[in-house]
């Protein structure tokens, strides 16, 4: 059954129609007509006044029309419009005995708790690559309060995590000389989801390779966001008696390009979790050097023709405050910085960060390139 009042407004409706092939043909402040080209030449009416007394009724008629055209359930169309600016990560616990859409209390508790653990661990890895955190950054712990959980769904037992995902084209422009703190805060949600997807994908590859990962493979996985805490979040669910497997599906927002190379679905059964457990033990007991990760826009470029490196300033958020981080980049990475600056493409930088209060923030760069979480081509990244 569709909600009595829709969980969306005209902006979400228009964005959804645009990405599904519809186009506006006429209208004004009160309503618009949108057309779907094709043999049937479909037309729908979009109400534009969310506070109007008939908005709920008109939105309901629109949902029914779209459900008919798309051959979908009305509730499915409602949810798609309501989350058009969001990424939805589905955690699904399965077991042969889970046939009635319910789950034992203990397993359900671990699934909900693991949803939080996965988000916080992924948020921590989006800030700092580290094998074992022990104490999460404050910004990572805040993630659990900022994302939402959708209604559980049938299909064994599914818990949806809903997080923001705005299109970078809406917030960046070529030659931009500053960042907007509110925009960066919003984009952090997408960056966390992208980190989770990539980290779980790498962990799944190691867990299904048919052998125990080598120490170097485990070390490399840290650079992709794998941590002891991430492994434990998975193991806590699958090791419960009533769960034989956990799969995670990433349903990326239709208005923001999905991160290139990120898997859309990963699965961990009991055999895979055995390998995950071995990985987590090595991450817990071995000492790894941590690396900071910053995101932002290139605002300053300086290089003389005879110089081997170029000086680059990247404006970013450090402890939720705007700071410019200075770095020296070799030829390939410097040219990547120039391209990103000229095109208005945000960047992701990984390395050793020094940010003394009141002093210049600097970074010894390990990896520099376009921010892949926002749909940039990760192949343009340059290791230094």
Q: How confident is the model at residue 2 (pLDDT cuts 50, 70, 90)?
A: very low
Express each pLDDT in 309-341 by its tens digit: 999 999 999 988 999 999 999 999 999 999 999
Coil, helix or strand at residue 270 = helix
Angle, helices 215-222 vs 270-285, to 10°: value is: 80
What local confidence, expressed as pLDDT, does residue 63 receive? 96
Three-class secondary structure assignment of 10-34? HHHHHHHHHHCCCEEEEECCCEEEE
Residue 198 confidence (pLDDT) above 90: yes
| Rg (the chain; Cα; Å) | 23
The larger pLDDT score, comparing residue 79 to residue 5, is at: 79
Alpha-carbon span 246 to 235, nearest angstrom: 9
Contact 248, 91 (CB under 8 A): yes
Q: Which of 56, 20, 50 is nearest to 35 (CA)?
A: 20
Express each pLDDT in 218-232 by its tens digit: 999 999 999 999 999
Express each pLDDT in 80-119 by its tens digit: 999 999 999 999 998 776 666 678 888 888 899 999 999 9
């Amino acid at each position: 059954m569709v909600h009595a009042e829709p969980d969306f407004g005209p902006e979400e409706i228009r964005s959804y129609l645009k990405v599904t092939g519809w186009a506006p043909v006429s209208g004004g402040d009160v309503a618009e007509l949108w057309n779907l080209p094709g043999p049937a030449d479909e037309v729908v009416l979009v109400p534009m006044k969310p506070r109007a007394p008939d908005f709920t009724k008109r939105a309901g008629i629109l949902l029914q029309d779209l459900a008919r055209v798309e051959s979908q359930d009305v509730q499915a169309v409602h949810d798609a419009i309501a989350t058009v600016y969001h990424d939805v990560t589905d955690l699904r616990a399965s077991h042969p005995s889970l046939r009635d859409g319910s789950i034992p209390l203990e397993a359900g508790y671990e699934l909900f708790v693991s949803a939080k653990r996965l988000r916080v661990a992924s948020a921590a890895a989006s800030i700092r690559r580290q094998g074992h955190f022990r104490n999460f950054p404050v910004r990572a712990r805040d993630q659990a309060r900022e994302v939402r959980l959708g209604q559980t769904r049938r299909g064994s037992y599914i818990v949806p995590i809903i997080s923001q995902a705005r299109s970078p084209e809406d917030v960046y422009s070529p030659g931009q000389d500053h960042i907007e703190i509110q925009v960066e805060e919003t984009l952090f949600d997408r960056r966390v989801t992208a980190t989770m997807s990539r980290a779980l994908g790498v962990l799944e590859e190691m867990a299904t390779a048919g052998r125990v990962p080598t120490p170097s493979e485990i070390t490399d996985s840290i650079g992709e966001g794998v941590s002891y805490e991430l492994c434990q979040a998975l193991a806590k669910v699958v090791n419960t008696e009533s769960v034989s497997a956990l799969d995670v599906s990433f349903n990326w927002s239709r208005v923001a390009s999905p991160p290139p190379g990120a898997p859309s679905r990963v699965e961990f059964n009991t055999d895979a979790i055995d390998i995950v457990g071995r990985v987590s033990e090595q991450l817990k007991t071995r000492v790894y050097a941590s690396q900071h990760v910053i995101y932002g826009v290139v605002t300053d470029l300086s290089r003389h023709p005879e110089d081997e490196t170029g000086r680059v300033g990247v404006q970013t958020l450090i402890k939720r405050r705007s700071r410019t981080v200075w770095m020296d980049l070799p030829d390939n990475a410097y040219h990547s910085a120039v391209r990103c600056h000229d095109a208005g493409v945000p960047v992701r930088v990984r390395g050793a960060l020094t940010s003394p209060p009141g002093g210049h923030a600097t970074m010894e760069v390990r990896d520099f390139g376009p921010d892949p979480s926002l749909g940039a081509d990760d192949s343009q990244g340059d290791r230094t």
